[in-house]
Amino acid sequence: MKQYNILFLCTHNSARSILGEALASTHPRGLFVGYSAGSTPGTSVNPFAAELTMEMGYDQSKLRSKSWDDFGLPDAPKMDFIITVCDNAAGEQCPYWPGNPATAHWGFPDPSQVQGSDEQKKRAFRDVMIGLKKRIDILAAMPLDSLDSLSLKEIHTKA
């Protein structure tokens, strides 16, 4: 079975994109290898995001904030899909992606900006995780070999 590389982008690569990476990599259909990166990566992964990835069974040694420049290098994995998950990253000038991957923007509010109790913060992260999971489930049910950017963007409206 062919696996598809999917790169989730956000500004700091500490929350939403990390959740996307873990969800794609642990998806039950085994179709995806998830990656994540940011335009200005942070110094660490948000602890609430890390906790959710642990619940998914994602390899914790892979959790780190990475620069999206790493994925534009000649020896970087070739991406099939690139998805921005925050409005800031969607509006930034992205590096050149070898192989002409399909791209889309699946915007989610930044859960790390939620104020309140730890329970309220955890709920915000879980809400983003659920939204990403719905979109990845829809993607996994589509004919992946024939997807283009327009089809990938339509997932945003279906979820």
Closest to 83 (Cα-Cα) out of 49, 106, 66, 110:
106
Is 94 marked active-site? yes
CA distance 94 to 70: 12
Whether 11 sits among the annotated catalytic residues: the reply is: no
The active-site residue out of 23, 86, 102, 155 is 86
The sheet with strand 81-84 has its strands ordered as: 32-38, 4-10, 81-84, 102-105
Among 31, 33, 56, 94, the one annotated catalytic: 94
Catalytic annotation present for 86:
yes
Q: Produce one character per residue of 34-50: b if its CB has 16 or more CB atoms within 10 Å, e if not.
A: bbbbbbebbeebbebbb
**Residues acting as catalytic residues:** 10, 86, 94
